[in-house]
Structure 1
Amino acid sequence: MNKQEISQKNLQEPLQDRYGRRFYYLRLSVTDVCNFRCDYCLPDGYRASGHQQPELSTAEAETVIRAFAQLGTRKVRLSGGEPSLRKDLPEMIRAASQTPGIERVAITSNGYKLPSVIDTWHQNGLDQLNISIDSLDTDEFARITGHDCLPKILTGIDRALELGVQVKTNAVLLSDGAQARLQQFLAWLKTTPVTLRFIELMQTGDNRDYFASNHLRGATIEQQLIDSGWQLLPRSIDAGPAREYVHPGYAGRIGLITPYSKDFCDSCNRLRISAQGKLHLCLFADAGLDLRETIRTGDVQAVAERVRALIGNKELSHYLQRGDTGGTQNLSIIGG
């Protein structure tokens, strides 16, 4: 067997790290820019860095997606920042949906433009939509995000459901008012067929004081759900990190993402590429591993081989429990 045959054989084997974890899920950030000012992420709004590299082009993003598809990726999530700020986002969706091996294309968005873009996204191959909604109270939503646009976002979600797009909503758990927000969400889920995912607030380089004042363990909410008859669902191999629950009395589901639980990283199945073409083996790694020059060549196999070579550097776990947030200053940098 010659070198090329050996290389091709390796690319056909699922991407696996030294701890036996296999990776079926790529989170591809398409921009760092965000137009929201969420308290826990960018309270002062987005500020551009003077020395930052340009964002990946559509062609470069397609090279990345095709390379990961060769490595066994089944699901691609386009994230940000706020991905809808990219005018070429529909072309990126189409490129991902038309890549052999990619079974599901998802977007995480704040929903600000949703009513005007969801039809186009769907036409280009969008399968799943994640929208950040931290509160169903319009005033509180505006206070958290800096934008009074909750009704518009909910209208966009209704349209996505009409189109058959699978919808999930993300809500960061915040200690103050958590029970009131939970009751609002439960009432909404009675008749709304979405999956609401409670995400435990994570400490980043920029939010240490906010984290200390607002962190709430997801286990607190999870036990309440279990006591109320919610049942845990089996997890698919390309699923995100949430543990999802169902209840016969509700049209919607509830998921919990609890990064401070001791076994959280055991089931890691996802890798991240930043908008500048850096591979992040963990959301809280010290730094990304630069793939930009290889990506620019358009050589899909070379990118795949580079990723396979670097996967050996992935750690067993993040170190959030000891307050080590790595190089993540805020979650818009790499899309959470």
Structure 2
Amino acid sequence: MLADSFGRRFYYLRLSVTEVCNFSCTYCLPNGYSGPKPSAFMRRDELRRVMQVFAAEGTRKIRLTGGEPSLRADLPDIIADARQTQGIETIALTTNGYRLAESIADWQQAGLSQLNVSIDSLDPAQFKAITGHDRLRAILQGVDDSLALGLPVKINAVYMRGMNDQLGQFLAWLKTTPVTLRFIEVMEVGAQPDFYHNHHVPLSNMKQQLLLEGWQPIVRGKDAGPAQEFWHPDYAGRIGLIMPYSRDFCTTCNRLRVTAQGKLHLCLFGETGYDLRPWLQEDAQQDELTAVIQEALGHKPATHGLHEHNTGLIRDLSMIGG
């Protein structure tokens, strides 16, 4: 089992397959994507080796991320590779939903077992203002299609003051929609420090409101994501809160990240990316890559530096998969 010097064990790998994204979300890529070309990202065989090594060391859940993963034509093949990797029990995908309705059946058939869709507003005009795309209705149809297939669906919404801080609208939707809606605090990133100061909302206040209104906490699983989740008997859906600025947020960290360029990041806001690609080629030995990963884990800090406005290497969320 992969573990760090603080006794945290890592059952969960967030594996980015591309940095490219076709949305221009205000909190991530307001001017659109301008990063490396797709040729810079790991090939399918390299991604397969990453999965195999992490699975051999106790990883049980893999989340495929981006950028926007569906921009890779071989995404169904990558999902199938994850399904065929011994030891992997859960295969999740985070998507902006652009190709969801047309692709979800193929993704599920390939082996997808969980789905996260980014929907930052339920108002079509506001959704377009945030993302740059008038696609809300089509994305919501994709969510319905996913639920009809029996897939567990989580919705990610970055909660921003003055932009989409309309809890009542989201709660009304959850009355009849059986998804987990995860609100995410705005986090400071290197490319947009002012955005955090202008739009950050501490979700601790929302947590207290939910508790007062009868929402009840859910026990967190060992391979669960970072959200504190809540349920209510009068709602079909659940709520999750991702509060990176809360006390002890990092004590339950159970996930590692590998970027589309093959770099291991011990933290979303870490100072170093450890290059794994030399050990992902055909002539490399699996035990050598395992040793590199285990050595790197010895350098994982107890917590991120967000409280000191230290955002590490991260330029925007697309470069590391969130």
Q: TM-score, normalised by structure 2?
A: 0.97
Find the aligned partners of 1:134 and 1:221 in 2 and give their Cα distance.
17
Within 1, Cα distance between the matches of 2:249 and 2:99? 33
Aligned to 1:22: 9
What's the counterpart of residue 40 of structure 1? 27
Residue 171 of structure 2 is matched in structure 1 by 186
The residue identity in structure 2 corresponding to 1:38 is C
| Counterpart code for 2:319 | I
Residue 34 of structure 1 aligns with an amino acid whose one-letter code is: C
Residue 143 (structure 2) aligns with: 157
- The aligned counterpart of 2:265 is 280
Which residue of structure 2 aligns with residue 11 of structure 1?
none
Matched residue count: 321
Give 3-state SS (helix, strand or coil) of 2:125's partner: helix
Where do 5+ consecutive residues of structure 1 fail to align? 1-13
Aligned-pair identity (%): 54
Residue 53 of structure 2 corresponds to residue 67 of structure 1 = yes
- Tell me the residue number matched to 1:10: none
What whole-Å deviation, never above 9, does each CA across 1:272-317 have from its counterpart, x for those lacking one? 0000110000000112110111012353333222211211010100
SS at match of 1:95: helix
Contact 1:64–1:300 (CA under 8 A) maintained in structure 2: no
Task: Give the secondary-structure state (helix, strand or coil) at the position aligned to 2:130.
Answer: helix
Distance in structure 2 (CA, Å) of the matches to 1:129 and 1:102:
16
Mapped to 2, the partners of 1:96 and 1:268 lie a distance apart of 22
- What is the Cα deviation at residue 178 of structure 1? 4.8
Task: Confirm or deny that 1:79 pairs with 2:79.
Answer: no
In the TM superposition, what whole-angstrom CA distance separates every residue of 1:128-180 from its partner, at most 9, and x where no partner exists? 0100000000000000000000000000011111111110000001011554x
| Alpha-carbon offset, residue 221 of structure 1 | 1.1
RMSD: 1.2
TM-score (norm 1): 0.93
Which consecutive residues of structure 2, in runs of 5 or more, have no partner in the other structure?
A: none
1:265 is matched with 250
Cα deviation, residue 223, structure 1: 1.1
Report if the CA contact (8 A) 2:126-2:164 is conserved.
no
Contact 2:19 2:36 in 1 (8 A): no
- The alignment partner of 1:307 has SS state of helix
**Residue identity in the other structure for 1:124:** A
Aligned letter for 1:162? A
Q: Which residue of 2 aligns with 1:202?
A: 187
Q: Which of these residues, 83, 86, 92, is aligned with residue 97 of structure 1?
A: 83
Alignment counterpart, residue 107 of structure 2, candidates 98, 113, 121: 121
Which among 169, 190, 203 is matched to residue 218 of structure 1? 203
